[in-house]
Amino acid sequence: MSESNNKGFYILKKTIAILTAVFTVAVGACLISASLGIYRGGEGEYTRATVAEGLDSVSVPVYIWLALLAAGLACRFLAPDKADKPQRTPVSYRLKRLSLSADLSKCDIDIVKTVEIERRKRRIWTAVPATVFAIITVVYLFYALNGANYTDDISTSVAKAFAVLVACYTPFVLLIGALYFPYRHSMEREVTALQKAPKAATQAQKKLIADKAAGWVRLALLVIGAVLLTVGICMGGMADVLTKAINICTECVGLG
């Protein structure tokens, strides 16, 4: 399989995976709404006919979801392994590694300006979606906590709340999609600029030593905690705590 076909098949697999995730959420919401409708409308006995009639509106999304699942399994098991994404170092990892090893104090002014501009852009592109998400969440909570927006029909209320949820967060998802590629290209431009910067080996080595030291500290705290826990069990502390917990629970429910 050529490189272009390999990339195209990878994009197809990712598209099927995203659509499957979307339809999984949609089918779940439809099933909840249909089940509530069956529950609210079932005054007599529940038969296959009544249940089938209540679930009839969900059949189309369920069939699409099953077709997407089948397509995803086919792509997973029938396609050659070369159809997977080519292995390469993520740009975020390369950027972090170069940021640790580059010495900006010895760089040209153009490289420093490029790095600062790209980092400022990414800070803005991170703050904007976060602000939009917070505003959308507050708006939706005002709607969800307002009892006047609901009716006696539970299935209708659930369907309406889900529709409002989708309508509120769709702009946020579109904004994330629109900023993904500019954000990635910004990191790639910074990587290109940092590759021209002189290396600061001592800084990278200090970072590596600090990471190793932090790892040893975590391990030491874990060992100390395990030792103290074992000592407490051997001294009977666990039995005392269990006895007190039982007494509190039985006294709370009126049995003690």
- Mean pLDDT over residues 212-219, rounded? 82
Please report which confidence band the pLDDT of residue 46 belongs to, taking 50, 70 and 90 as the band edges.
Answer: low
Per-position b or e across 32-47, b if 16+ CB within 10 A of its CB: bbbbbbbeeeeeeeee
Cβ 133 vs Cβ 226: under 8 Å = no
Report the C-alpha gap between 229 and 223 in whole angstroms: 10
Candidates 7, 25, 26; CA nearest to 15 is 7
Rounded to an integer, what is the distance from CA 220 to the centroid of its chain?
Answer: 32
Instruction: Read off the pTM.
Output: 0.48
At 134-188, the pLDDT tens digits run 898 888 888 777 777 777 666 677 777 778 888 888 888 889 888 888 998 998 8
Least confident of 111-115, 130-134, 217-221, 238-242: 238-242
Tell me the residue type at 152. D
Percent of the chain whose pLDDT exceeds 70: 80
Say what the pLDDT of residue 9 is.
Answer: 73
pLDDT at 82 over 50: no
Say what the pLDDT of residue 127 is.
Answer: 92
pLDDT at 210 over 90: no
Least confident of 93-102, 165-174, 188-197: 93-102
Taking all residues of the chain, what is their mean pLDDT, rounded to a whole number?
77
Q: Which two tokens stand for residue 193?
A: 């600029």
Per the DSSP assignment, residues forming a β-bridge with 199 are 102
Q: For residues 228 and 133, which has the higher predicted lDDT (pLDDT)? A: 133
Say what the pLDDT of residue 121 is.
Answer: 92
Please report which confidence band the pLDDT of residue 197 belongs to, taking 50, 70 and 90 as the band edges.
Answer: confident
Please report, for the chain, the start and end positions of each structural domain, with discontinuous segments joined by +. 1-86, 88-199, 201-256
For the ranges 43-47, 116-120, 208-212, the one whose mean pLDDT is highest: 116-120
The secondary structure of 137-205 as a DSSP string is HHHHHHHHT-GGG--S-HHHHHHHHHHHHHHHHHHHHHHHHHHHHHHHHHHHHHHHHHHTSPB-HHHHH
Least confident of 88-92, 94-98, 201-205: 201-205
CA triplet 207, 211, 212: central angle to 5 degrees?
Answer: 120
Report the C-alpha gap between 249 and 255 in whole angstroms: 8
Please report which confidence band the pLDDT of residue 123 belongs to, taking 50, 70 and 90 as the band edges.
Answer: very high
Say what the pLDDT of residue 102 is.
Answer: 76
